[in-house]
Amino acid sequence: MIAAHNLVKIYDTRHGQHTVLDNINFKINLGDKSAVIGRNGSGKSTLIRLLSGIESPTSGKIIQNMSMSWPLAFSGGFQGSLTGIDNMKFICRVYNVDPAGKEKTLDEFTELGKFLREEVKKYSAGMRARLAFGISLLVDFQCYLVDEITAVGDAAFQEKCRYELFVRRAHKTMIIVSHEEEVLRDNCNRFFLINDKKLYEFENADDAFDYYHSIL
């Protein structure tokens, strides 16, 4: 189970405090595939970062009783002076995963070739995203956080990502932020929408997307 109780996130800006999420409550069960939709800037990615632990809530609390991935394709935690392979080995050790034999798997998935043995600080943003996505698939998380799957690579690579997530890991819990309505309709059983700092859950995809389109 993953639950949020009275979750609030406020950022300090030059113009004063800016509330992004205000008194958010929800519960997600093992195996749920939860879509999170909303306009740009509504707080979807902020919610993902809070759930992953990258950021802390201003108030309220998050309860996690399952292992949680970092946001797929998020590369902010890499050590730039290490190679892609060395970053993979370090992360595997952190999550108590044997890195032996993982190099070939990572190479085949990311298609980074010789760059896996280059320092990550030399990578483009797209290469870093491929590496982050690939490494995340080496760890057997119970819940995967997905923030815009289309941000990773070209169409063929995006299709590979979808297969890894929605076919090979179809039994896993997922929380998915995306503007791809078809992907969410095909793969999610729960639908949340963030609007005006609040989180709403809808009984079905039609109701969620009808409301979403009405506020665009």
pLDDT digits (tens, 9 = 90+) for 88-141: 999 999 999 999 889 999 999 999 999 999 999 999 988 988 898 899 889 999
For the whole prediction, is pTM greater than 0.85? Answer: yes
* 158 and 199 fall within a common domain: yes
* 130 and 178 fall within a common domain: no
Is 145 inside any structural domain?
Answer: yes
Q: Which of left, alpha, beta for 143 (phi over 0: left; psi -120 to 50: alpha)? A: beta
What is the count of structural domains for the chain? 2
- The per-residue pLDDT for range 156-207, each reduced to its tens digit, is 888 888 899 999 999 999 999 988 899 999 999 999 999 999 999 999 999 9
Q: Is 10 helix (H, G, I), strand (E, B) or coil?
A: strand
* 150 and 210 fall within a common domain: yes
* 180 and 111 fall within a common domain: no
Please say whether the beta carbons of 13 and 6 come within 8 A: no
Domain of residue 204 covers 1-67+141-216
For the chain, helix (H) and strand (E) counts, in that order, are: 7, 9
